[in-house]
Amino acid sequence: MKTALSLPTLLTATILVILFAACVVAAARGDDGPPKNTAPAAKPTKSEKDVAAELAKAKDKLAPTYLLAYKFAAGDEVRTKVVHLNTIETKIKGSTQTAKTRTVATKLWRIQEINEQGQFVFEHVVEHVEMWNSVSGRAEIRYDSASGERPPPGYETVAQSVGKVLATITMNQHGRIIARTMQPLFNPGIGELSIPFPNTPIKIGTSWGIPDEIKMKLDDGAVKKVQIKQVYKLEKVELGIATIAVDTQVLTPVNDPKIKAELVQRLQHGTIKFDLDAGRLRSKQMDMDEEVFGFNGADSHMQYLARQTEEPLVPGDQTARKDEPAATTK
């Protein structure tokens, strides 16, 4: 009885036949080892190039593919800790000012149901937030929603929003937002809501882009629309963890330094790690280090440094409070 060969077996056999044929051709030419003279090596023949091309094609066909997809069940509560640190140093007419902020938040996705299309319907909530702000020459401002204390001026809306449903989201397994119902509350959550994945399995090295638009308000009240693209690339997969590079490409030419000074604070550059088996985020880190000259006069300068991280909260740690005091970020 004959046994049907699998595709990988057939491809492997094909590769061996090609290699054997190449050896026969080499033997027919009398190639019995390295040349004994100092003449320059002959350029690869057309047949040798064809063999190399076929080998490359076979290797690509045998390369594994990976499906990037979220996995949830009705009733799941997914909590992550989001930390955003930034420092903005500005120099205008010889005067320097430094502003530092730190926000630590607990983000909750409360999965309500899986609809008939297999999409996730969930509530987006920020359960806890701790904020710290320091500006040169001013008193530090701190707010911890778990303290029960009255929020400082300017933080009242934040306090009212913590623990409330900020939005009800419908999202497919590949992270694409299908619908959302926003509540009229301030959203202290940090970063993008989800990671948009391709709809089909991909190989390592595959890139994909998501177009977006940023609206920048000008001094005269007009609005400038800046087209951008979030570019993602699957760099590697190890032990079931996919490493994805993220970078923001600005497509609209921006020459106004004032607009650049705001725009750089909206860009992303970093790495995401995603657990393929669990269908959950493992970690996310975005780092920015940008400079803008002339945003407020010819001799003005702005240095923007920021780091944003997100990771799942371990069981039992239901708040995003950090062990070290906020002042250590100064």
The model's pLDDT over 282-313, given as tens digits with 9 standing for 90+, comes to: 999 999 999 999 999 889 999 999 999 999 99
What is the C-alpha separation between 45 and 300, in angstroms, rounded? 61
Which one-letter amino acid corresponds to residue 297?
G
Closest CA to 26 of 45, 54, 5: 45
Please give the pLDDT value at position 184.
63
**What is the pTM for the complete model shown?**
0.76
CATH class of domain segment(s) 77-329: mainly beta
The counts of H helices and E strands in the chain are: 4, 12
What is the C-alpha separation between 164 and 317, in angstroms, rounded? 20
What is the C-alpha separation between 282 and 186, in angstroms, rounded? 27
- Tell me the per-residue pLDDT of 62-97, one tens digit each, with 9 for 90 and over: 789 999 999 999 999 999 999 999 999 999 988 999
Angle between helices 7-28 and 46-62 (to 10 degrees): 160
Cβ neighbours of 169 (radius 10 Å)? 21
Which one-letter amino acid corresponds to residue 86?
N
* Local structure of 191: helix, strand or coil: coil
- Tell me the per-residue pLDDT of 94-115, one tens digit each, with 9 for 90 and over: 899 999 999 999 999 999 999 9
- Tell me the per-residue pLDDT of 30-67, one tens digit each, with 9 for 90 and over: 445 555 555 666 777 777 677 777 776 776 677 899 99
